[in-house]
Amino acid sequence: MNEKDSVIEIDFLEILRVLIGRWWILLLCVIIVGGASYAYSEYGVPKMYISTGRMYINTYTGQNGSASENQRSTSVITASQRSVLTCIEVLKSMSVLDEVAKAVDLGYSAGQIKSMVSMVSANETEVLQITVRCNNPEHAKKIVDCLMNVATVELKNIVDIPTIKIIDEGNINRVPISPNVTLTAMIGALMGGIISAVVIAIIALGDRRIKSEEDLKNFNIPILGVIPDIM
């Protein structure tokens, strides 16, 4: 058992020695694969941008039809929060998105716009947050603004929402959210190093050539003599 363990240890030490001796190959692979990953993510993958707008939606009108913060109970606030979810479903309908596509007039279909848009109730409040993900920052902002403008009309007609106000219009964010070029390059460099190390190790393990006196001892071959190096 000890003999087997010692052989395994010698094998690992030999692999480590080979890897250290081939450090320049590892470094070259890290640079090449990392650089290729960077170039691909920077120039080969479409950049995506987001624009976000926020709307306030209130279904409570008070006893005399006017909103009053002092009269609103927890149950009324909860009802308004639930109405935001209803509004989201309405705004996701193809009929509403068709209106948005016409208003935007950028060549996008209702289905394409639907795939770009995400809507949530901000922190479970009566604030509807609309986010558009697009490969053009100006288009993303225009879609958000048009969607909110259409929403102010369609929600009053379909859901009969008494109060709809735009809090924040869409913003133009020129910093792409994807791809993450730095992360992609780091992953590529890491994979390049790992793959090259594995290949070098496999080649080293498969190399059965006799290169030294120690190699003969490992195979239990008797040594008759050694020819010294002639300088």
CATH number of the domain within which 101 lies? 3.30.70.1130
Per-residue pLDDT, averaged over 14-42, amounts to: 91
**Same structural domain, 29 and 71:** no
Q: Is residue 227 part of a domain?
A: no
Between 13 and 226, the more confident residue is 13
Q: Decide if 22 is inside a domain.
A: yes
147/211 same-domain check: no
Q: Strand pairing partners for 118?
A: 131
Cα dist. 210→41, 176, 205, 214, 221 in Å? 46, 56, 13, 9, 11
Tell me: do 21 and 63 sit in the same domain: no
58 and 154 belong to one structural domain: yes
**Single residue among 168, 188, 205 that ends a domain in this structure:** 168
Q: What is the pLDDT of residues 180-211, one digit of tens each?
A: 999 999 999 999 999 999 998 888 777 666 66
Q: Which long-range CB contacts under 8 A does 32-35 form with residues at least 24 apart? A: 32/192, 33/188, 33/189, 33/191, 33/192, 33/195, 34/185, 34/186, 34/188, 34/189, 34/192, 35/185
Query: Does residue 88 sit in the same domain as residue 114?
Result: yes
Per-residue buried b or exposed e for 203-229, using 16+ beta carbons within 10 Å of the residue's own CB: ebeeeeeeeeeeeeeeeeeeeeeeeee
- pLDDT value for 83: 81
Range of the domain at 36: 2-44+179-218
pTM of the model: 0.69
Strand locations in the chain, DSSP E?
49-58, 117-121, 127-134, 163-168
Domain assignment present for residue 226? The answer is no
Are residue 65 and residue 136 in the same domain, yes or no?
A: yes
Residue 120 CA to its chain's centroid (Å):
19
Indicate whether 224 belongs to any domain.
no
Residue 95 lies in a domain: yes
| Domain assignment of residue 144, yes or no | yes
Residue 83 domain-assigned (yes or no): yes
* Tally of domains in the chain: 2
Q: Are residues 148 and 107 in the same domain?
A: yes
What pLDDT score was predicted for residue 9? 46
Question: Is pLDDT of 31 > 80?
Answer: yes
Q: Are residues 25 and 136 in the same domain?
A: no
Q: Is the pLDDT of residue 220 over 90?
A: no
Q: What is the pLDDT of residue 74?
A: 63
Instruction: Kindly state whether residues 183 and 102 are assigned to the same domain.
Output: no
DSSP 62: -
Mean of pLDDT over the chain = 83
What value does the mean pLDDT take over residues 31-46? Answer: 93
pLDDT tops 80 at residue 112 = yes
87-101, 107-121, 146-160, 200-214: which has the minimum mean pLDDT? Answer: 200-214
In a domain, 37, yes or no: yes
User: In terms of domains, do 159 and 64 share one?
Assistant: yes
Choose the weakest-confidence range: 73-87, 154-168, 215-229: 215-229
